[in-house]
Amino acid sequence: GAVVSQHPSWVICKSGTSVKIECRSLDFQATTMFWYRQFPKQSLMLMATSNEGSKATYEQGVEKDKFLINHASLTLSTLTVTSAHPEDSSFYICSAKVPSNQPQHFGDGTRLSIL
């Protein structure tokens, strides 16, 4: 079946660093991918919708200049956390939307820790 690969799975870095997370659809083309964030003991929250070839759509309260999303091809979307700070430490997960009435496919997530 369809698989979504997310990389890296775990990142620890210093405050002020920028971190890039990749989300790839391995055996299908995904015109739309979604980026979510999950803080400890909280629900997943949609951050943004990534559309191939166009600008991402951000949810209210998510800073587009801080969380840069690029969806340059039908199989790859990237999320870059710029100048990360400890409060950005979270679990980030992507999903890819497949055509018509099929469930989204999720990546395995990236656990980001900013020191």
Partner 1 sequence: KNEVEQSPQNLTAQEGEFITINCSYSVGISALHWLQQHPGGGIVSLFMLSSGKKKHGRLIATINIQEKHSSLHITASHPRDSAVYICAVGWWGKLTFGTGTRLTIIP
- Asked if 46 interacts with partner 1 (CB under 8 A), we say yes
Are 82 and 18 within 8 A, CB to CB? yes
Tell me the CB-side half-sphere exposure of residue 80, using CA atoms within 13 A: 10
Of 78, 109, 112, 114, the one binding partner 1 by CB under 8 A: 109
Q: What radius of gyration do the chain's Cα atoms show?
A: 13
Q: Which is nearer to partner 1, 61 or 103 (CB)?
A: 103
Q: Which stretch, 12-20, 63-71, 75-83, 87-95, contacts partner 1 (CB under 8 A)?
A: 87-95
Residues 50-69 touching partner 1, rule: CB under 8 A, are none
